[in-house]
Amino acid sequence: MYSDKIVNNFMRPLDKYCYIDEDESVRKAFVLMDSIRKEGKPLCIVVLGVSHFEKEIIKGFVTPSELVFGLLSHFLKGVQRSGPIFWEGQFETECLEGVNKRVEEIMLPIKTYVRGSEMLMEAVFLLDKYRTDFLPVVKKDEVVGIIHLDDILEEIYGIILK
Protein backbone atom coordinates (compact mmCIF):
# COMPACT_ATOMS: atom_id res chain seq x y z
CA MET A 1 0.00 0.00 0.00
CA TYR A 2 1.41 3.42 -1.01
CA SER A 3 1.71 6.03 1.69
CA ASP A 4 1.88 9.77 1.14
CA LYS A 5 3.75 10.05 4.42
CA ILE A 6 6.94 11.35 2.85
CA VAL A 7 8.92 14.32 4.09
CA ASN A 8 8.14 16.49 1.02
CA ASN A 9 4.47 16.48 1.98
CA PHE A 10 5.13 17.87 5.46
CA MET A 11 8.14 20.19 5.15
CA ARG A 12 7.86 23.95 5.06
CA PRO A 13 9.55 25.74 2.15
CA LEU A 14 12.50 27.98 2.95
CA ASP A 15 10.53 31.15 2.22
CA LYS A 16 8.51 30.56 5.40
CA TYR A 17 11.61 31.28 7.51
CA CYS A 18 13.70 34.32 8.31
CA TYR A 19 17.46 34.33 7.87
CA ILE A 20 20.43 35.80 9.67
CA ASP A 21 24.14 35.75 8.93
CA GLU A 22 26.34 33.78 11.34
CA ASP A 23 28.46 36.89 11.94
CA GLU A 24 25.54 39.06 13.09
CA SER A 25 25.08 39.86 16.77
CA VAL A 26 22.78 37.97 19.08
CA ARG A 27 21.05 41.32 19.65
CA LYS A 28 19.98 41.30 15.99
CA ALA A 29 18.74 37.71 16.37
CA PHE A 30 16.57 38.83 19.31
CA VAL A 31 15.05 41.65 17.26
CA LEU A 32 14.35 39.23 14.40
CA MET A 33 12.87 36.56 16.71
CA ASP A 34 10.59 39.14 18.31
CA SER A 35 9.39 40.17 14.87
CA ILE A 36 8.64 36.63 13.69
CA ARG A 37 6.98 35.79 17.01
CA LYS A 38 4.59 38.72 16.52
CA GLU A 39 3.90 37.63 12.93
CA GLY A 40 3.08 34.07 14.02
CA LYS A 41 5.82 32.50 11.89
CA PRO A 42 7.77 29.40 13.00
CA LEU A 43 10.06 30.35 15.90
CA CYS A 44 13.21 29.45 14.07
CA ILE A 45 15.81 31.60 12.38
CA VAL A 46 17.92 30.01 9.67
CA VAL A 47 21.60 30.87 10.06
CA LEU A 48 23.55 31.45 6.86
CA GLY A 49 27.29 31.27 6.35
CA VAL A 50 29.84 30.68 3.63
CA SER A 51 31.21 27.26 2.70
CA HIS A 52 34.82 26.44 1.91
CA PHE A 53 33.93 27.07 -1.74
CA GLU A 54 32.64 30.60 -1.03
CA LYS A 55 29.04 29.45 -1.53
CA GLU A 56 26.31 30.63 0.85
CA ILE A 57 24.97 27.70 2.87
CA ILE A 58 22.69 27.03 5.83
CA LYS A 59 24.92 26.56 8.87
CA GLY A 60 22.35 26.14 11.63
CA PHE A 61 19.26 27.37 13.42
CA VAL A 62 18.45 29.75 16.24
CA THR A 63 15.33 28.99 18.25
CA PRO A 64 14.12 30.44 21.55
CA SER A 65 16.20 27.80 23.36
CA GLU A 66 19.43 28.95 21.73
CA LEU A 67 18.58 32.57 22.52
CA VAL A 68 18.03 31.89 26.23
CA PHE A 69 20.73 29.31 26.88
CA GLY A 70 23.24 30.82 24.44
CA LEU A 71 22.78 34.25 25.94
CA LEU A 72 23.34 32.96 29.45
CA SER A 73 25.98 30.35 28.59
CA HIS A 74 28.75 32.23 30.40
CA PHE A 75 26.87 31.84 33.67
CA LEU A 76 25.77 28.27 32.93
CA LYS A 77 29.34 27.09 32.24
CA GLY A 78 30.49 28.59 35.55
CA VAL A 79 27.70 26.76 37.40
CA GLN A 80 29.02 23.41 36.19
CA ARG A 81 32.41 24.11 37.76
CA SER A 82 31.53 25.75 41.07
CA GLY A 83 27.79 25.47 41.57
CA PRO A 84 25.26 28.29 41.23
CA ILE A 85 25.91 31.62 42.86
CA PHE A 86 23.23 34.24 42.32
CA TRP A 87 23.27 37.98 42.95
CA GLU A 88 20.85 40.81 42.49
CA GLY A 89 20.90 42.16 38.95
CA GLN A 90 22.69 39.08 37.62
CA PHE A 91 20.05 38.19 35.05
CA GLU A 92 20.06 41.66 33.50
CA THR A 93 23.88 41.79 33.53
CA GLU A 94 24.20 38.40 31.80
CA CYS A 95 21.60 39.38 29.20
CA LEU A 96 23.24 42.70 28.36
CA GLU A 97 26.67 41.08 28.01
CA GLY A 98 25.40 38.09 26.03
CA VAL A 99 23.77 40.06 23.22
CA ASN A 100 27.19 41.10 21.94
CA LYS A 101 28.06 37.51 21.00
CA ARG A 102 27.98 36.41 17.36
CA VAL A 103 25.05 34.27 16.22
CA GLU A 104 27.53 31.52 15.32
CA GLU A 105 28.41 31.20 19.03
CA ILE A 106 24.85 30.30 20.07
CA MET A 107 23.31 28.65 16.99
CA LEU A 108 22.36 25.01 16.82
CA PRO A 109 24.61 23.69 14.04
CA ILE A 110 23.16 21.38 11.44
CA LYS A 111 24.14 17.84 12.33
CA THR A 112 22.20 15.99 9.65
CA TYR A 113 19.52 16.37 7.01
CA VAL A 114 16.73 14.33 5.49
CA ARG A 115 15.84 13.85 1.84
CA GLY A 116 12.40 14.99 0.78
CA SER A 117 11.69 11.60 -0.75
CA GLU A 118 12.25 9.75 2.54
CA MET A 119 9.39 8.39 4.62
CA LEU A 120 8.20 10.61 7.46
CA MET A 121 9.40 7.96 9.92
CA GLU A 122 12.99 8.66 8.77
CA ALA A 123 12.56 12.30 9.84
CA VAL A 124 11.18 11.17 13.22
CA PHE A 125 14.18 8.88 13.68
CA LEU A 126 16.69 11.63 12.84
CA LEU A 127 14.94 14.26 14.98
CA ASP A 128 15.14 11.88 17.92
CA LYS A 129 18.68 10.69 17.23
CA TYR A 130 20.07 14.22 17.06
CA ARG A 131 17.73 15.68 19.71
CA THR A 132 16.60 18.55 17.53
CA ASP A 133 13.26 20.04 16.52
CA PHE A 134 14.31 21.01 12.96
CA LEU A 135 15.87 19.21 10.02
CA PRO A 136 16.89 20.64 6.68
CA VAL A 137 15.19 18.85 3.79
CA VAL A 138 17.37 18.32 0.72
CA LYS A 139 16.79 17.49 -2.91
CA LYS A 140 19.87 16.77 -5.05
CA ASP A 141 22.14 18.07 -2.26
CA GLU A 142 20.37 21.44 -2.07
CA VAL A 143 18.26 22.51 0.90
CA VAL A 144 14.67 23.00 -0.27
CA GLY A 145 12.83 23.20 3.02
CA ILE A 146 12.72 22.44 6.70
CA ILE A 147 10.71 19.87 8.58
CA HIS A 148 9.83 20.72 12.15
CA LEU A 149 8.67 18.52 14.97
CA ASP A 150 5.42 20.54 14.99
CA ASP A 151 4.74 19.47 11.38
CA ILE A 152 4.94 15.84 12.43
CA LEU A 153 2.86 16.46 15.55
CA GLU A 154 0.08 17.95 13.39
CA GLU A 155 -0.01 14.72 11.38
CA ILE A 156 -0.12 12.64 14.56
CA TYR A 157 -3.08 14.73 15.79
CA GLY A 158 -4.84 13.95 12.53
CA ILE A 159 -4.25 10.22 12.88
CA ILE A 160 -5.17 9.90 16.55
CA LEU A 161 -7.96 12.43 16.87
CA LYS A 162 -9.90 11.63 13.68
Residue boundaries of the structural domains of the chain:
7-160
Task: Fill in the DSSP letter of residue 26.
Answer: H
7-160: in CATH 3.10.580.10: yes
Supply the pTM of this predicted model.
0.81
Per-residue pLDDT band for 77 (boundaries 50, 70, 90) equals low
Q: Which contacts of 2-5 are long-range, i.e. CB under 8 A and separated by 24 or more positions?
A: 3/119, 5/119, 5/120, 5/121, 5/155
pLDDT score of 2 more than 60: no
Share of the chain above pLDDT 90, in %: 57
Q: Which long-range contacts (CB under 8 A, 24 or more apart) does 130-139 make?
A: 132/108, 133/44, 133/63, 134/44, 134/61, 134/63, 134/108, 136/58, 136/110, 137/7, 137/8, 137/11, 137/113, 138/113, 138/114, 139/115
